[in-house]
Structure 1
Amino acid sequence: MEAIAITDETALARFAALIRDRLAALDEDDRLGKDGQAVVSLDQQSVGRLSRMDALQSQAMAKAAQGRRDAQKRGLRAALQRIEEGEFGYCDDCGDAIAPARLELDPTATRCMSCASG
Protein backbone atom coordinates (compact mmCIF):
# COMPACT_ATOMS: atom_id res chain seq x y z
CA MET A 1 0.00 0.00 0.00
CA GLU A 2 1.55 3.27 -1.12
CA ALA A 3 1.20 6.34 1.09
CA ILE A 4 -0.05 9.63 -0.24
CA ALA A 5 2.08 12.68 0.57
CA ILE A 6 0.54 15.17 2.97
CA THR A 7 0.51 18.40 0.97
CA ASP A 8 -2.89 19.77 1.97
CA GLU A 9 -2.45 22.89 4.14
CA THR A 10 -5.44 21.88 6.26
CA ALA A 11 -3.92 18.48 7.00
CA LEU A 12 -0.55 20.05 7.82
CA ALA A 13 -2.26 22.53 10.14
CA ARG A 14 -4.07 19.64 11.83
CA PHE A 15 -0.76 17.81 12.36
CA ALA A 16 0.84 20.98 13.70
CA ALA A 17 -2.06 21.40 16.16
CA LEU A 18 -1.74 17.73 17.20
CA ILE A 19 1.97 18.21 17.83
CA ARG A 20 1.43 21.42 19.81
CA ASP A 21 -1.23 19.66 21.93
CA ARG A 22 1.21 16.85 22.70
CA LEU A 23 3.92 19.37 23.60
CA ALA A 24 1.51 21.15 25.95
CA ALA A 25 0.59 17.85 27.61
CA LEU A 26 4.28 17.03 28.08
CA ASP A 27 4.88 20.48 29.59
CA GLU A 28 2.04 19.83 32.03
CA ASP A 29 3.55 16.43 32.90
CA ASP A 30 6.88 18.21 33.50
CA ARG A 31 5.20 20.61 35.88
CA LEU A 32 3.54 17.78 37.77
CA GLY A 33 6.72 15.69 37.88
CA LYS A 34 8.95 18.37 39.44
CA ASP A 35 8.19 17.25 43.02
CA GLY A 36 9.26 13.69 42.30
CA GLN A 37 12.69 14.87 41.18
CA ALA A 38 13.39 16.90 44.30
CA VAL A 39 16.50 16.17 46.34
CA VAL A 40 15.91 13.37 48.84
CA SER A 41 16.69 14.28 52.44
CA LEU A 42 19.30 12.07 54.09
CA ASP A 43 18.13 12.82 57.64
CA GLN A 44 17.56 9.42 59.23
CA GLN A 45 15.82 11.03 62.19
CA SER A 46 12.89 12.06 60.02
CA VAL A 47 12.79 9.11 57.61
CA GLY A 48 13.82 5.49 58.05
CA ARG A 49 16.41 3.82 55.83
CA LEU A 50 13.85 1.88 53.77
CA SER A 51 11.65 4.92 53.31
CA ARG A 52 14.68 6.89 52.14
CA MET A 53 15.57 4.11 49.69
CA ASP A 54 11.99 4.19 48.37
CA ALA A 55 12.27 7.94 47.99
CA LEU A 56 15.57 7.59 46.10
CA GLN A 57 14.04 4.97 43.81
CA SER A 58 11.02 7.20 43.17
CA GLN A 59 13.36 10.09 42.42
CA ALA A 60 15.31 7.97 39.91
CA MET A 61 12.08 6.89 38.22
CA ALA A 62 10.89 10.52 38.04
CA LYS A 63 14.20 11.56 36.45
CA ALA A 64 13.97 8.73 33.91
CA ALA A 65 10.41 9.77 33.04
CA GLN A 66 11.66 13.35 32.62
CA GLY A 67 14.33 12.10 30.22
CA ARG A 68 11.71 10.30 28.14
CA ARG A 69 9.52 13.42 28.06
CA ASP A 70 12.50 15.53 26.99
CA ALA A 71 13.24 13.11 24.13
CA GLN A 72 9.59 13.19 23.05
CA LYS A 73 9.59 16.99 23.09
CA ARG A 74 12.74 17.11 20.95
CA GLY A 75 11.10 14.79 18.42
CA LEU A 76 7.89 16.82 18.38
CA ARG A 77 9.76 20.09 17.91
CA ALA A 78 11.71 18.51 15.05
CA ALA A 79 8.39 17.46 13.48
CA LEU A 80 7.12 21.06 13.69
CA GLN A 81 10.34 22.18 12.04
CA ARG A 82 9.79 19.66 9.24
CA ILE A 83 6.27 21.04 8.74
CA GLU A 84 7.66 24.57 8.43
CA GLU A 85 10.32 23.40 5.96
CA GLY A 86 7.87 21.36 3.86
CA GLU A 87 9.62 18.09 4.71
CA PHE A 88 6.98 16.62 7.03
CA GLY A 89 5.60 13.25 6.02
CA TYR A 90 8.51 12.14 3.85
CA CYS A 91 10.88 9.29 4.69
CA ASP A 92 14.42 10.37 5.57
CA ASP A 93 15.83 7.22 3.96
CA CYS A 94 13.97 6.75 0.67
CA GLY A 95 12.08 10.03 0.26
CA ASP A 96 8.70 8.33 -0.16
CA ALA A 97 5.63 9.57 1.68
CA ILE A 98 4.99 8.24 5.18
CA ALA A 99 1.45 6.91 5.64
CA PRO A 100 -0.79 9.52 7.29
CA ALA A 101 -2.10 6.86 9.70
CA ARG A 102 1.47 6.27 10.89
CA LEU A 103 1.94 10.00 11.41
CA GLU A 104 -1.37 10.20 13.31
CA LEU A 105 0.00 7.66 15.79
CA ASP A 106 3.51 9.09 15.85
CA PRO A 107 4.01 12.50 14.25
CA THR A 108 7.73 12.22 15.03
CA ALA A 109 8.13 9.32 12.57
CA THR A 110 10.82 10.08 10.02
CA ARG A 111 10.85 6.78 8.16
CA CYS A 112 8.21 4.95 6.15
CA MET A 113 7.17 1.44 7.24
CA SER A 114 9.33 -0.20 4.57
CA CYS A 115 12.50 1.55 5.73
CA ALA A 116 11.63 1.28 9.42
CA SER A 117 11.14 -2.48 9.18
CA GLY A 118 14.43 -2.90 7.38
Structure 2
Amino acid sequence: MAKSKAVIGYTTFMDEKTAKKFHDRITARLVELDSADDLGAAGQATVTLDQQSVGRLSRMDALQNQAMAKASHARRMVERSQLVAALRRIEEGEFGYCEDCGDDIALPRLELDPAAAKCIDCARG
Protein backbone atom coordinates (compact mmCIF):
# COMPACT_ATOMS: atom_id res chain seq x y z
CA MET A 1 0.00 0.00 0.00
CA ALA A 2 1.37 3.42 -0.96
CA LYS A 3 2.12 5.91 1.79
CA SER A 4 -0.52 8.60 2.27
CA LYS A 5 2.08 11.37 2.02
CA ALA A 6 2.24 10.76 -1.73
CA VAL A 7 -1.50 11.36 -1.95
CA ILE A 8 -1.59 14.27 0.47
CA GLY A 9 1.61 15.82 -0.79
CA TYR A 10 3.04 17.00 2.54
CA THR A 11 6.72 16.97 3.29
CA THR A 12 8.56 18.29 6.29
CA PHE A 13 10.80 20.76 4.42
CA MET A 14 13.19 20.47 7.33
CA ASP A 15 15.66 23.20 6.51
CA GLU A 16 17.75 24.96 9.15
CA LYS A 17 15.17 27.73 9.67
CA THR A 18 12.32 25.25 10.19
CA ALA A 19 14.41 23.10 12.52
CA LYS A 20 15.27 26.20 14.59
CA LYS A 21 11.59 27.14 14.77
CA PHE A 22 10.76 23.70 16.17
CA HIS A 23 13.78 23.79 18.51
CA ASP A 24 12.64 27.14 19.93
CA ARG A 25 9.06 25.94 20.30
CA ILE A 26 10.11 22.75 22.08
CA THR A 27 12.48 24.64 24.36
CA ALA A 28 9.72 27.11 25.28
CA ARG A 29 7.38 24.22 26.11
CA LEU A 30 10.03 22.67 28.35
CA VAL A 31 10.27 25.95 30.25
CA GLU A 32 6.46 25.94 30.65
CA LEU A 33 6.62 22.39 32.02
CA ASP A 34 9.30 23.42 34.52
CA SER A 35 7.12 26.32 35.68
CA ALA A 36 4.11 24.04 36.05
CA ASP A 37 6.21 21.62 38.09
CA ASP A 38 7.25 24.46 40.39
CA LEU A 39 3.63 25.48 40.89
CA GLY A 40 2.45 21.89 41.42
CA ALA A 41 5.15 20.94 43.92
CA ALA A 42 3.11 22.12 46.90
CA GLY A 43 0.14 20.03 45.78
CA GLN A 44 2.25 16.88 45.85
CA ALA A 45 3.39 17.40 49.44
CA THR A 46 2.47 14.87 52.09
CA VAL A 47 -1.01 15.42 53.48
CA THR A 48 -1.14 15.98 57.24
CA LEU A 49 -3.57 13.61 58.93
CA ASP A 50 -3.94 15.57 62.15
CA GLN A 51 -7.57 15.26 63.32
CA GLN A 52 -7.33 18.56 65.16
CA SER A 53 -6.19 20.67 62.19
CA VAL A 54 -8.66 19.53 59.51
CA GLY A 55 -11.83 17.52 59.31
CA ARG A 56 -12.26 14.17 57.61
CA LEU A 57 -13.72 15.63 54.40
CA SER A 58 -10.98 18.24 54.20
CA ARG A 59 -8.36 15.47 54.47
CA MET A 60 -10.14 13.50 51.74
CA ASP A 61 -10.13 16.58 49.51
CA ALA A 62 -6.45 17.12 50.26
CA LEU A 63 -5.64 13.50 49.41
CA GLN A 64 -7.60 13.74 46.15
CA ASN A 65 -5.85 17.01 45.25
CA GLN A 66 -2.49 15.38 46.03
CA ALA A 67 -3.31 12.43 43.76
CA MET A 68 -4.33 14.76 40.93
CA ALA A 69 -1.15 16.81 41.37
CA LYS A 70 0.96 13.65 41.20
CA ALA A 71 -0.88 12.47 38.07
CA SER A 72 -0.36 15.86 36.42
CA HIS A 73 3.32 15.71 37.31
CA ALA A 74 3.59 12.22 35.76
CA ARG A 75 1.98 13.48 32.53
CA ARG A 76 4.41 16.41 32.43
CA MET A 77 7.33 14.02 32.89
CA VAL A 78 6.17 11.91 29.93
CA GLU A 79 5.74 15.01 27.77
CA ARG A 80 9.14 16.30 28.90
CA SER A 81 10.88 13.06 27.88
CA GLN A 82 9.17 13.13 24.48
CA LEU A 83 10.23 16.74 23.92
CA VAL A 84 13.82 16.04 24.97
CA ALA A 85 13.86 13.13 22.50
CA ALA A 86 12.58 15.51 19.79
CA LEU A 87 15.39 17.96 20.59
CA ARG A 88 17.87 15.10 20.29
CA ARG A 89 16.41 14.21 16.87
CA ILE A 90 16.81 17.85 15.78
CA GLU A 91 20.46 17.85 16.85
CA GLU A 92 21.09 14.54 15.05
CA GLY A 93 19.31 15.66 11.87
CA GLU A 94 16.63 12.99 12.30
CA PHE A 95 13.75 15.30 13.23
CA GLY A 96 10.78 15.07 10.88
CA TYR A 97 11.45 11.49 9.83
CA CYS A 98 9.41 8.54 11.06
CA GLU A 99 11.37 6.36 13.48
CA ASP A 100 9.67 3.23 12.09
CA CYS A 101 9.60 3.59 8.30
CA GLY A 102 11.94 6.56 7.74
CA ASP A 103 9.42 8.53 5.67
CA ASP A 104 8.78 12.22 6.23
CA ILE A 105 6.36 13.14 8.99
CA ALA A 106 3.81 15.58 7.58
CA LEU A 107 4.54 19.17 8.58
CA PRO A 108 0.97 19.75 9.87
CA ARG A 109 1.44 16.74 12.18
CA LEU A 110 4.69 18.22 13.52
CA GLU A 111 3.02 21.63 13.91
CA LEU A 112 0.33 19.98 16.02
CA ASP A 113 2.76 17.84 18.03
CA PRO A 114 6.47 18.63 17.64
CA ALA A 115 7.31 15.52 19.68
CA ALA A 116 5.70 13.22 17.08
CA ALA A 117 8.22 10.53 16.21
CA LYS A 118 6.11 8.55 13.74
CA CYS A 119 4.26 9.32 10.55
CA ILE A 120 0.49 8.99 10.71
CA ASP A 121 0.50 5.58 9.01
CA CYS A 122 2.95 4.07 11.49
CA ALA A 123 1.24 5.76 14.44
CA ARG A 124 -2.03 4.11 13.42
CA GLY A 125 -0.26 0.76 13.38
The question of a shared fold, defined as TM-score above 0.5 by the shorter chain, is answered with: yes
Per the TM alignment, residue 2 of structure 1 is displaced from its structure 2 partner at its CA by: 3.4
Number of the residue aligned with 1:29: 36
Provide the C-alpha distance between the structure 2 equivalents of 1:16 and 1:3, rounded to a whole number of angstroms.
Answer: 20
Per the TM alignment, residue 3 of structure 1 is displaced from its structure 2 partner at its CA by: 2.8
Pick aligned residue for 1:55 from 57, 62, 68: 62
Q: Deviations over 1:11-39 (max 9, x none)?
A: 00000000001001111100110111111
Following superposition, which runs of at least 4 residues in structure 1 exceed 6 angstroms of deviation?
none
Listed as ranges, the gaps of 5+ residues in structure 2 are 1-7
TM-score, normalised by the number of residues in structure 1: 0.96
Q: Which has the higher contact order (CA 8 A, sep 6+)?
A: 1
TM-score, normalised by the number of residues in structure 2: 0.91
Q: State the number of aligned residues.
A: 118
Question: Percent identity among equivalent residues?
Answer: 59
Listed as ranges, the gaps of 5+ residues in structure 1 are none
Provide the C-alpha distance between the structure 1 equivalents of 2:12 and 2:113, rounded to a whole number of angstroms.
Answer: 16
Number of the residue aligned with 2:45: 38
Contact 1:36 1:58 (8 Å CA) reproduced:
yes
Query: Given residue 102 of structure 1, which amino acid in structure 2 is its aligned partner?
Result: R
Pick aligned residue for 2:117 from 97, 110, 113: 110
Query: Given residue 33 of structure 1, which amino acid in structure 2 is its aligned partner?
Result: G
Number of the residue aligned with 1:3: 10
Provide the C-alpha distance between the structure 2 equivalents of 1:34 and 1:116, rounded to a whole number of angstroms.
Answer: 33
Question: Residue 81 in 1 paired to residue 85 in 2?
Answer: no
